Amino acid sequence: MSSDLYKKIKDIVGEDYVTESEFERFFYSRDVSPIPTELQEKWGTVPDIVARPKNAQEVSKIMAVASQNKIPIIPRGGASWWLGGSVPYKGGIVLDLTSMNNLIDMDENNLTITVDCGVTWKEIEDVLERHSYFLGTRPGSAASATVGGWISTGGVGIGSYKYGSVGDLVRSLEVVLPSGEIIQTQNKDLAGHGSGYNLNRLFIGSEGTLGVITKATLKIIPRHEAGPYHVSYAFSELSGCAEAIKKVVSSRLLPHHIAFGDKRHFMFLASMGKPVPDGEIVLCITLEGEKGIIDYGLKKLDEEFTSTGGCMKCCDGKSHEECEECTIEFRGSRINVYPVPGEIFVGLNRFEEALSKIYDLFDEMGLQAGVIGSMVDRRTTMIMPYYIQEQKESGTFMEFHRRLGELALSVGGRRVGLGLFFSSSLSHIHDEGSVAVMRAIKRCIDPGNILNPGKTVGGFDLFASLNDKKG
C-alpha cells in the first residue's frame, strides 16, 4: 500500500495510533480461530495498515479516504469471536476500535447508558452494579467482548432467554457509513416503533459490513430484590433433561438463564480440581426477581425436574461453585490446553437428535470433546460443542466446523454467525429472494464493497478454497 495513503491515515489519527509494522500487522491477521498458515497469504488476512481511531470523526475521515481509494476497511473490537469476522480478506486497513472506550453518560431518568464501541460489557456491568442497575443480557466473554463487536454479531448470551438478544438492549446507535457520513439510527430517549425503517436492526448482526458502530445507547434495568439465584439438576439420561427443559419453556415461569453441560464437559473441569456434579447432563437454571418469585420458581422447578428424573445438585450458586460453573457459557480459558468451540442453533424439538449426531461426530473424528449450551428463547437451543487439543492444528478445526455446520442444517438448525468462514452459508439459511435483498442493501450502502468484504453476504466458500490449491 502506498506511503501516501499511510501518511493520510497518520495525519488523521496521529503517529502513535497507526502502524504498518509487519509484526504488528500479523497480530491483526486472525481472531481466536486457527487459520491455516498456507491460507493466510492466499486470503490476504494480514492487513496493510492498522489504525486506532479515537472517535467517530476520525473513523469518518479514514472511511472517506478508503472510499476514494477503494481500500477495504475491517472494523475490529475485542476479536473474541472465532469466525474470521474481524480479519481482513485481501488486505486493507484494520480499524482497531478499542481506543474508543469512554463511558459517556448514564441517564437514570430515561434508563439508558451511552458508551463508545470499544468499551467492554464487563466495564458497563461494573458501573451499573454500583448504581443498582444491570443490562439483562451479557456475552459469556464479557471481560473482553466490546460493545460494538457483540452488537455487530447480533449476539445472544447469558440472560437472552428472559431479556432477548443484544439487539433488544439497543436504543440507538451512532454509525459511520462507508461514505464517511455519521448517522444516528434512532432517538435514544424514545422507542422507534412506527417511525420508519428500523435502522438499529439493519446494523445489528451485520458483522461490520454496512457501517462502523462507534457509539451505542443501551437500555438499563433496575436491579431486582433477589438473585441471581442458581439451581442445578443432574440427569442420568439426556431424554430426562430434554423433557425437563420442555416443561420449563411451556410454563409461565420465566428464568433469567437456562444452561446445560454434559458429562464430558464436567470431566474436563474435574481434571482441573473443580467440584463438579455427577450425571450424564446437568441443567442449571438462574432465577431473579422478588423473593416470592424465586421461592415459587424453586418449588416449581423441583416439582418438574424430579418428575423427569432430575436430582438437585446445588442451590444458590453463591455458595456452590459447581452451579456457577454450569451457568456460564465457556470455561475454555481455565483449561491448560487449546479449546476449539463451535456454536449452532437448533430447535428444542430436535435437541436430542442434534446431540446424538454431535457425539457421533466426536467419535468419528476421534476428538476429546464436550458440550455446553443454553436456551436463547422458548424454542431455540444454542449448542456449543468444543474439542480440546494441545496444538493449534488448523486442519481439524476446518473439518470440525464444516461438519458441524452440515449437521446443524440436517436437523433444521444453523450456525451462529457467518463471518469470513461461513458467508457461503447465507444461501442455505435464507431463501433466494431474501439473500438478493440483503445483497442489494449491501450494494446500496457500500457500492465500493470496501467495508469488511468477504463477510456475511460475500458468499465466500472457505471449504472450496481449502481444496483450491491454485488460488
Q: Beta strand pairing status for 369-375 and 338-341?
A: unpaired
Q: Beta strand pairing status for 93-96 and 73-76?
A: parallel
Higher pLDDT, 277 or 189: 189
Determine what percent of the chain is predicted with pLDDT higher than 90: 63
What are φ and ψ of residue 153, in 5° steps? -90, -10
Q: Residue 32 pLDDT > 50, yes or no?
A: yes
pLDDT band at 370, cuts 50/70/90? very high
User: Of 380, 359, 376, which Cα lies nearest the Cα of 368?
Assistant: 359
CB contact at 8 A, 256 and 159: yes
Q: What's the pLDDT at 470? A: 44
Q: What's the pLDDT at 326? A: 45
Q: Residue 325 pLDDT > 60, yes or no?
A: no
Higher pLDDT, 117 or 339: 117
C-alpha 400/C-alpha 365 separation (Å) is 8
pLDDT band at 352, cuts 50/70/90? very high
Q: Residue 151 pLDDT > 70, yes or no?
A: yes
Please, which residues have CB within 8 angstroms of residue 27's CB and are 6 or more apart in sequence? Answer: none
CATH number of the structural domain 100-222: 3.30.465.10
pLDDT band at 168, cuts 50/70/90? very high
User: Of 466, 449, 467, which Cα lies nearest the Cα of 458?
Assistant: 449
Q: What's the pLDDT at 419? A: 86
What are φ and ψ of residue 414, in 5° steps? -160, 170
Taking CA 467 as the corner, what is the angle to CA 461 and CA 469, rounded to the nearest 5 degrees? 115
C-alpha 454/C-alpha 431 separation (Å) is 20
In one-letter notation, the amino acid at residue 49 is I
Q: Beta strand pairing status for 369-375 and 380-389?
A: antiparallel
Q: Residue 145 pLDDT > 60, yes or no?
A: yes
pLDDT in tens, 91-133: 999 999 999 999 989 999 999 999 999 999 999 999 999 999 9
Q: What's the pLDDT at 68? A: 93
What are φ and ψ of residue 78, in 5° steps? -80, -10
pLDDT in tens, 61-78: 999 999 999 999 999 998
CB contact at 8 A, 453 and 89: yes
pLDDT in tens, 386-407: 988 765 556 687 788 889 999 9
Q: What's the pLDDT at 392? A: 56
Distance between first and last Cα of the chain: 21
In one-letter notation, the amino acid at residue 459 is G
In degrees to the nearest 10, what's the CA dihedral of 172, 173, 177, 182? 80
Q: Residue 48 pLDDT > 60, yes or no?
A: yes
Q: What per-residue string of b and e applies to 285-306 under the rule 16 or more CB within 10 Å gives b?
A: bbbbbeeebbeebbebbeebbe
Mean pLDDT, residues 357-364 taken together: 97
Q: What's the pLDDT at 313? A: 80
Q: What's the pLDDT at 391? A: 54
pLDDT in tens, 237-273: 999 999 999 999 999 999 999 999 999 888 877 776 7
CB contact at 8 A, 176 and 59: yes
Q: What's the pLDDT at 337? A: 55
For 137, which DSSP code? Answer: -
CB contact at 8 A, 361 and 370: no
Span of 139-148, 171-180, 209-218 with lowest mean pLDDT: 139-148
The DSSP string of 189-237 is TS--TTSSS-HHHHHTTSTTSS-EEEEEEEE-EEPPSEEEEEEEEEESS
On whether the 226-415 domain is CATH 3.40.47.10, my answer is no
Q: What's the pLDDT at 93? A: 97
Which residues is 103 bridged to in the sheet? 115
- Residue-level length of the chain: 471
For 158, which DSSP code? Answer: B
Higher pLDDT, 369 or 465: 369
What is residue 152's three-state secondary structure?
helix
C-alpha 268/C-alpha 270 separation (Å) is 5
Q: What's the pLDDT at 466? A: 60
Q: What's the pLDDT at 332? A: 42
Span of 32-41, 201-210, 416-425 with lowest mean pLDDT: 32-41
CB contact at 8 A, 400 and 365: yes
Starting at the edge strand that comes first in sequence, how are the strands of the sheet with 49-51 ordered?
Answer: 18-19, 49-51, 93-96, 73-76
Q: What's the pLDDT at 329? A: 39
Please, which residues have CB within 8 angstroms of residue 107's CB and are 6 or more apart in sequence? Answer: 113, 114, 189
Higher pLDDT, 471 or 387: 387
pLDDT in tens, 422-463: 888 888 899 999 999 999 999 999 999 999 998 998 876 766
Helix, strand, coil distribution of the chain in percent, nearest 5: 40, 25, 40
CB contact at 8 A, 40 and 199: no
pLDDT band at 328, cuts 50/70/90? very low
CATH class of 3-98: alpha beta
C-alpha 461/C-alpha 199 separation (Å) is 29
